[in-house]
Structure 1
Amino acid sequence: MQLVHEQPDFEFFLRGADGRGARVNDRRLDASFIVAPDRLLEHWPVTDALTLRVGDLEPLFALQPELVLLGCGETQAFPPQDVLAACLTRGIGLEAMTNAAAARTFNVLAGEGRRVAAGFIIGTTGAGDPT
């Protein structure tokens, strides 16, 4: 059997994520961040999905995604209603999930060529190394 190592055709690939960190390409990130297939924005100043404000999403909106994935840490949480409404009024979908699920979903959508952006909240209680 021949094995072929496929390289993604987008710049940033998530190799793993949990509530304590993430691995983007070969870099370990230990603070909240935003990623799109062609952009990585480190040090996103968000620490909790439950207290997320509409203004916190502006860096994501600037990427002009059709879908925003919100990695909430080790456990799924839902942002306030005004945050959801801000996405809907812009015609942008928002999906909240664990960081691990958001990493997997991001890679699939980016691999399909979708305009996806993801915000990962790091620093929540979690166990295990994402690598």
Structure 2
Amino acid sequence: MKLQPDHLDVQSILGYGPGWIGLGNKGVAEKIEHSVVIGSRGEKFDWACSRFEDLTEAHFSRLAETRPELVIFGSGSRLRFPPPAFLRGLMAQRIGVETMDTVAACRTYNILAGEGRNVVVALLMETPDRAES
């Protein structure tokens, strides 16, 4: 059963694999192989971290600046939760946060963005050898 239209009006994740995603926006496709933040309102910026252990409160504070209603955090190849202190700025602005592995975050972002929600996905892209540590 088809659940989404062929052409979304927002940035959408067209595919994914270990250490990469395919991003589509208005007919242009791009392969991204580093951690990235993507928003349903056109936001896109590099997220300077290549391992879960590199994350800091500043990474999550930058997400609050985009003013979404929801942040989806893709924590890499497996589910890992950031320390609550990292999320303090988001919670103070009443921005929801959901954590899931990166593949699930890609799917969830596409669904919510396709529904017209103001959502941002922060994807931790680890190389396969880094994901194991």
Q: Same fold (TM over 0.5)?
A: yes
Letter in 2 for 1:46: C
Indicate yes or no: 2:15 matched with 1:16: yes
- Normalized against structure 2, the TM-score is what? 0.80
Indicate yes or no: 2:91 matched with 1:88: yes
CA contact (8 A) 2:20 2:34 kept: yes
Write the deviation string for residues 55-105 of structure 1: whole angstroms up to 9, x where unpaired: 112332121101101111111110011013332121011111111100110
CA contact (8 A) 1:36 1:116 kept: yes
Question: Is the partner of 1:22 in helix, strand or coil?
Answer: strand
CA change 1:68–1:24 in 2 (3 A) is: same
CA contact (8 A) 1:50 1:78 kept: no
Greater CA deviation, 59-68 or 101-110? 59-68
Inter-partner Cα distance in structure 2 for 1:82 and 1:19: 29
Inter-partner Cα distance in structure 2 for 1:69 and 1:22: 15
Question: Is the partner of 2:128 in helix, strand or coil?
Answer: coil
Inter-partner Cα distance in structure 2 for 1:76 and 1:47: 16
- Superposed CA RMSD in Å reads 1.8
Specify which structure has the bigger relative contact order, considering alpha-carbon pairs within 8 angstroms and separated by 6 or more residues. 1
Q: Where in structure 2 are there 5+ consecutive unaligned residues?
A: none
- 1:19 Cα deviation (Å)? 4.3
Q: Where in structure 1 are there 5+ consecutive unaligned residues?
A: 127-131
Inter-partner Cα distance in structure 2 for 1:8 and 1:96: 24
The correspondence of residues 70-85 of structure 1 with structure 2, limited to 5 A, is 70-85=73-88
Normalized per residue, the structure richer in strand is: 2
Question: Is the partner of 1:86 in helix, strand or coil?
Answer: helix
- Normalized against structure 1, the TM-score is what? 0.81
The correspondence of residues 1-131 of structure 1 with structure 2, limited to 5 A, is 6-10=6-10, 12-25=11-24, 26-37=29-40, 38-41=42-45, 43-125=46-128
